[in-house]
């Protein structure tokens, strides 16, 4: 019975969503590790990442902002979660879907988070 509960928990949609967001973060971190290893993007806080995402989105064209907004599921997916981790992962996932993740990686390298 315990094994079944573990299998069901692992197969839940929330688990799949969390993994997808983590996969997008790993893709971002891999790109940043190659571009600017000194930035240590893997240690960025969710708050700093959220701020960087907002600043990055502000400099996008209206077309790219619209595409990103349409792909971003953060509002629906993260409505019942506290903190910024879910939101930043959902936004990274949307960036990956809209092929903006590479540009965001370059942006992070050019605009380091405070204290980095």
Determine, yes or no, domain membership for 10: no
In a domain, 116, yes or no: no
Is the residue at 115 inside a domain? no
pTM: 0.79
What are 65-104's pLDDT values in tens digits?
999 999 999 999 999 988 899 999 999 999 999 999 999 9
pLDDT in tens, 1-42: 434 334 334 444 444 444 557 899 999 999 999 999 998 899
Give the SS3 label for residue 58. helix
The secondary structure of 66-100 as a DSSP string is HHHHHH--HHHHSTT--SSHHHHHHHHHHHHHTT-
* Residue 9 covered by a domain: no
Q: Cα separations (Å) of 80 from 12, 46, 49, 69, 92?
A: 16, 17, 20, 20, 19
Range of the domain at 20: 15-110
Read off the DSSP letter of residue 38: G
pLDDT in tens, 99-114: 999 999 999 999 877 6
Specify the number of domains making up the chain.
1
Q: For residues 92 and 107, what is the distance between their CA atoms, to the nearest angstrom?
A: 13
């Amino acid at each position: 019975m315990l094994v079944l509960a573990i299998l069901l928990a692992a197969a839940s949609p929330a688990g799949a969503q969390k993994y997808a967001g983590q996969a997008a973060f790993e893709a971002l971190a891999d790109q940043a590790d190659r571009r600017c290893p000194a930035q240590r993007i893997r240690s960025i806080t969710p708050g700093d990442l959220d701020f960087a995402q907002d600043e990055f989105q502000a400099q996008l064209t209206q077309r790219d902002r619209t595409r990103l907004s349409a792909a971003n599921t953060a509002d629906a997916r993260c409505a019942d979660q506290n903190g910024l981790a879910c939101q930043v992962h959902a936004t990274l996932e949307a960036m990956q879907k809209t092929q903006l993740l590479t540009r965001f990686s370059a942006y992070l390298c050019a605009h380091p988070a405070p204290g980095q």
